[in-house]
Amino acid sequence: MVDLEKTLYDLCKPLVDDAKSLSVKTMTTTNENEVSLYVYASSDDIARLIGRKGIMASSLRQMIAIAARNMKSHISVKFEAY
């Protein structure tokens, strides 16, 4: 099984200035067929990860969906600044 947290972290790491401030967490949901991943970073790095009109965020979501293809569950990726 693919470690989605590590996969998403590895995808985001080259895109941020300070990799130490980047973290990816899996949040539990009430639906067992849903996985929610949250990306936490500084506000400047989150802006870079989301990109113009959400293009980078959309691309990251698509790559995670491909990585999780065999899991047969809904994957959501959310970006949070701190």
The CATH number that applies at residue 21 is: 3.30.300.20
Q: How many structural domains does the chain have?
A: 1
Q: Which tens digit of pLDDT belongs to each residue from 17-51?
A: 999 999 999 998 888 888 899 999 999 999 999 99
Question: According to the model, what pLDDT value does residue 28 have?
Answer: 83
Which residue range is the domain that position 74 belongs to?
4-81
Question: According to the model, what pLDDT value does residue 64 have?
Answer: 95
Phi, psi of 20 (to 5 degrees): -70, -25
Averaged confidence pLDDT in the chain: 92
How far CA 1 is from CA of 5, 32, 43, 55, 75, in Å, comes to 12, 16, 32, 27, 14
- Please state, for a pLDDT cut of 70, what percent of the chain lies above it: 99
Question: According to the model, what pLDDT value does residue 31 have?
Answer: 84
